[in-house]
Structure 1
Amino acid sequence: MRNNYTKYKEEEFKKEELLAIAAANLELDDTRKEQMISAYKAVNDVFDKDEEFFKDYTVNVYAQGSLLIGTTIKPLPGQEFDLDIVLKLDDSYLNHTPKEIYDEVFRVLDNHGTYSPLLQKKNRCIRINYNSDFHMDILSGCKITSDSTRLMIPNDKTLMDWSRTDPKGYDAWFKNISEKHKSQFMLTERFVMLTEAKVETEDLPKDVYVKSPLQRTVQIIKRYRDLYYENKDLVKTPVISSIVLTTLLAQSYDEELSIQAALKNAMAKMKHLADDYKYKGIRFQVYNPIDLYPDKEKRENFTDSWTDKHYESYVGFVIDLERKVTTFLSNSTNEQNYKDLFGNGYYKQNIQTLVKLEESFKGNPQLAALLSGTAYTDSSGKINTSSGVKNGSHGFYAES
C-alpha cells in the first residue's frame, strides 16, 4: 500500500504515536465501559417491570454523548465520570408533559430499594449517584414521530415545555465527519504497515491506531479542559461543556489526516472565535448541527445559557490551551511540556511504550524494507526482502 500524502519526518511520527498513546491511556477502560453499559441496561429493566404508568409503553434507555461517539476520558482523581443517558418513551410527546414523565421516572426509581438512596433531582434530569467513580444522569423524553430518532425533552428546569434533541442523530453526524478518508489517516496506514511487517503491537493500548484524528483531538482538549478548570471557582469561571467543545471541534475539522494537524486547525478556529469576542464583542452560538428547524432561534442551542462569564471563561481557556498545544507540537517532547498538556501520570509509561515500539522497528528487516521500498510480496502473500512483486515505499521516517 503506497501512501497518498506527504512524507513525514521521524519526529513527526513519534509525536503522532505519542499523542495517540497518551489519548488511549486517558480513555475509559473496557471494564468501566462494561460497568456503565450494565448500569443503564439494569435501569431499563426496572422500567420494563413497572406495573403502573410505564406498563403500557415501550421504554428505551441508551447512552448519549462521549460513550456513544468514542471520546470518553477518565475523570481526574477525586472526580466522577458523567454518564449521560436518554430514557425515551415510545409515545408522542403531544400526549404528555415534561413534568409528568420526569415525575414518573423519579417515582419508579424512588420505589426501588437499590436506587432510592442514590437519587438526586437535577434541573432537567435525574441523577443516580453510584458508589463508584461515575454517576448516571437520566434525561427523559418522548418520541416526535415513529420514523425518526428525534425526541422531545424538557426545555428547562420548569419542566413545562418541550425541546427537540437527537442524540443518535448527533452520533451519526459526528462519526460521518470523523471517519472520512479513514484509510488515509497517518496512523491507519501506519498500522497496516506494521501488520504487514508483523511488528508486535499487543503491548500498546488497544485502540492506538484505530481512533480518528478528530476523536483524539476531542479527547486531548477535553482532558486539558478538566485540568484548566480543576482548581477554579466555577461560579466566576464556568467550565466549557463537553457538548460545546465537541461540536465546535467537529465543525472545525477539515479532514486532517493526523492528530497534530487536527490540533493545529482546532486551535486556529477556536482562537478566531475567542478573538471575535475579546476584541469585537461577538458572541458565537453553538447550535445542535442536526436540528434544522426553519426558525433558527427555536433550534437546540448548546450555548443558550451562556453569559459574559462563559465567553470570558472560553477566551481564557483557549489562550491557555493554544499556548500549551503550540509548545507541545513545536518542540521536542519532554516531561514538562507533556505534563502541561496532559497532567501528571502516564508520562513515563507512555514514553516507555513508544521506545519499546521504536526498538521493535529497528530490529525488523521486513519493516525496514517496507520503509525503503525494497520489500517484496511473494505468491502466498508473505512479505520478504528478496522475491515476488516489489512493494512501493511507505515513506515513513523519510528524510524531509
Structure 2
Amino acid sequence: MTTQFLTYAERQRAGNVLERLAQSIDLTDRQYQDAIARYEAVATFLGDPNGNLAIYNPHLVPQGSFRIGVVVRPEHEECEFDVDTTCWLYINLPASQYRIKQLIADRFKSNATYERMLKEKHRCWRLGYSEQTRFHLDVVPAVPDSYEWLLKLGVPDKYAKHAIKITDNQRYNYHHHTVDWPGSNPEGYALWFLDVMKVQADHIRNQLSAELKLSLDKIPEYKVRTPLQRAIQLMKRHRDQLYGDHDLKPISIIITTLAARAYMDVIKRHQGGLFYDIVIAIVEQMVDHIESRDNVRWIANPVNPTENFADKWQTDPRLAAKFHEWHGKFLALVNGEEITKSFDRTPESLKLSFGSNTVKRAFEPNNVPSSVGQLDRLRNTAAIIASGVAHTDKNAQINNQSIGVKNQEHRFHFNE
C-alpha cells in the first residue's frame, strides 16, 4: 500500500482530515430528522385504512443512498437533496403500470397539500417540500415480483425475496396489461450492502451506546458511519465537484458496488487499521472488481448476477474512460500532500475537490472532533472482530494477540 511511506501520526492526521470532510458532506442531524419525519408521515398517509390504497396493503420502503447511509449533502444550501422510496402495492400481475401509478397519484391528490407538492417523473411521483426544508421525496410505485429464478442463480433468499416490478411511463407497454414490467430490487441491494459492513457498524453502535450512555435503540442509524460509507460519500462529492451534471460522469451505483466489494477484501486482510488506511485500500482495490466476461467489462449487481451495472460502457466507451479518469484523480488526491501533510491554511485544491462550503464546514474551529482518534479506535476494534481472531482480555479490551478468551464467531445478520 502507498501508506507505507507515511508515519503512523501522518496517517492518523490524514484520516482526521478525510473524516472531517466526510462529516461535512453528510446531512445535518436536523436534515435527517426532518426527512425521516416527512417520510414517516407519507408512509402513514399512504397506509391509512380509510384511503383508496388500503385494500392493496401499501408499504413504503426507503431505498438508495438514504437507505444505505451514503447520502451527500448539497454543496450549496439552496440546492435540494433527495430521499428515494418504493411504495409496494400487493397486486397480482398482469396489470398495467399506468393503473398502479395512478392509484398512488389518486391517493396523493386526495390531500390538498400533497397535491400541490406532486410532480410526475418517469418512474416515480415526486413530492417537493418547502424551500426551507430543501429536499424532495420520490415514491416509486411497485408490485412484488417472483424471485425463484434468483434463488437458482445463488442469490440468498433474504435478498432475493425483495425483488419487485416498477413503473416507467417511457416503456412501450406502459398502458398494457402485462407481466413485462421493469424489474428491480433496491431493498435486496441495501440489505447486501448493510451486511457487508455489519460487524463494524454493530460494534461502532455498541461503543457509541456505551460511551454516550444511551440504549442501542436510542442510537440513530445516521449516527453510525463506517469507513465504507464515509469513503463513498467522499468519492461521490469529489465526482460531483469534478464533473457536475456531465452526462458521462461515473454513476453512483458503480462507485458504491465496487467500493463495497473492495471493502469486503480490505476488512478480511486488516486486523485493525486506521481510517485513512482503510479508505486508501478501498479506493486502490475497487477497480480490481471490474470483471471481464467474454471481453465485456462487467460490474455485477450483487442481488442479480445477470445485471451488469456497466452495460452502457460497451456502447459508449467514453463512460469507462471517464470512470477511470475520475478514479485516478481521486486516488491521487487522497495520496497527495493536501491530505497527508499538515497545513496551517486549507489548500485551495481541497476546495476545488470537495467544494468551498464543505471545506469551510470541515475546518471551522467548532467542527474539530472532540475526541481525536475516537472513531479510529472504534473501527480498529471492529475490524479485529470482523477478522475472526478477536480475543477479550481480563480488562474487557478486545485484541488480536490471542490474549484472553477468544470471541465467538459473528452469527447475526442485519434486518433478517
- Please confirm whether the aligned pair reaches a TM-score higher than 0.5, indicating the same fold: yes
Check 1:163–1:288 CA distance in 2 against 1; reply closer, same or farther (3 A cut): farther
Match of 1:144 in 2: 145
Q: 2:357 aligns with which of 321, 341, 345?
A: 345
How far apart are the structure 2 equivalents of 1:390 and 1:289? 37
Match of 1:377 in 2: none
Match of 2:282 in 1: 266
Give the superposition deviation at 1:323: 2.5
Spell out the pairing of 1:154-233 with structure 2 (5 A cutoff).
Answer: 154=167, 157-158=170-171, 159=174, 161-180=180-199, 210-230=224-244
Three-state SS of the structure 2 residue aligned to 1:137 is: strand
> Which stretch has the larger CA shift, 212-221 or 41-50?
41-50
> Which stretch has the larger CA shift, 49-58 or 247-256?
49-58
Three-state SS of the structure 2 residue aligned to 1:284 is: strand
1:71 is aligned with what amino acid?
A: V
Deviation track 1:28-56 (CA, whole Å, cap 9, x = no partner) reads 12221222222222223333348675242
Match of 2:136 in 1: 135
Give the superposition deviation at 1:100: 1.8
How far apart are the structure 2 equivalents of 1:20 and 1:51? 47
Match of 1:366 in 2: none
Deviation track 1:8-31 (CA, whole Å, cap 9, x = no partner) reads 712222222332232122211222
Deviation track 1:255-300 (CA, whole Å, cap 9, x = no partner) reads 34443233323333455689x99xxx965333321125xxx2xx4x
Larger-gyration structure (1/2): 1
Check 1:11–1:24 CA distance in 2 against 1; reply closer, same or farther (3 A cut): same
1:126 is aligned with what amino acid?
A: W
1:141 is aligned with what amino acid?
A: A
Check 1:228–1:208 CA distance in 2 against 1; reply closer, same or farther (3 A cut): same
Check 1:14–1:122 CA distance in 2 against 1; reply closer, same or farther (3 A cut): same
Three-state SS of the structure 2 residue aligned to 1:74 is: coil
Deviation track 1:334-365 (CA, whole Å, cap 9, x = no partner) reads 411533442213546644444865699xxxxx
How far apart are the structure 1 equivalents of 2:399 and 2:285? 35
- Taking structure 2 as the reference length, the TM-score comes to 0.67
How far apart are the structure 1 equivalents of 2:24 and 2:211? 22
Unpaired segments ≥5 residues, structure 1:
1-6, 199-205, 361-387, 395-400
Q: Note if 1:255 corresponds to 2:266.
A: yes
> May I ask how many residue pairs the two structures share in their alignment?
334
Three-state SS of the structure 1 residue aligned to 2:303 is: coil
Check 1:310–1:108 CA distance in 2 against 1; reply closer, same or farther (3 A cut): farther
Three-state SS of the structure 2 residue aligned to 1:115 is: helix
Three-state SS of the structure 2 residue aligned to 1:90 is: coil
Contact 1:20 1:209 in 2 (8 A): no
Contact 1:144 1:151 in 2 (8 A): yes
- Taking structure 1 as the reference length, the TM-score comes to 0.69
Three-state SS of the structure 2 residue aligned to 1:114 is: helix
Spell out the pairing of 1:250-399 with structure 2 (5 A cutoff).
Answer: 250-253=260-263, 254-256=265-267, 257-270=273-286, 284-292=297-305, 296=306, 299=307, 301-304=308-311, 307-308=315-316, 309-327=318-336, 331-334=340-343, 335-336=346-347, 337-345=349-357, 347=359, 350-351=362-363, 352=365, 353-354=367-368, 357=371
How far apart are the structure 1 equivalents of 2:287 and 2:373? 39
Give the superposition deviation at 1:393: 10
Check 1:116–1:339 CA distance in 2 against 1; reply closer, same or farther (3 A cut): same
Unpaired segments ≥5 residues, structure 2:
1-5, 148-156, 214-219, 268-272, 375-393, 401-416
Match of 1:87 in 2: 87
How far apart are the structure 2 equivalents of 1:102 and 1:123? 10
1:142 is aligned with what amino acid?
A: V
Three-state SS of the structure 2 residue aligned to 1:247 is: helix
Check 1:213–1:85 CA distance in 2 against 1; reply closer, same or farther (3 A cut): same
How far apart are the structure 2 equivalents of 1:391 and 1:53? 56
Q: Note if 1:112 corresponds to 2:111.
A: yes
Three-state SS of the structure 2 residue aligned to 1:142 is: strand
How far apart are the structure 2 equivalents of 1:53 and 1:389? 59
Check 1:258–1:97 CA distance in 2 against 1; reply closer, same or farther (3 A cut): farther
Give the superposition deviation at 1:139: 0.8
Give the superposition deviation at 1:214: 0.8
How far apart are the structure 2 equivalents of 1:90 and 1:389? 53
Check 1:209–1:140 CA distance in 2 against 1; reply closer, same or farther (3 A cut): closer
Check 1:348–1:114 CA distance in 2 against 1; reply closer, same or farther (3 A cut): closer
Give the superposition deviation at 1:74: 0.6
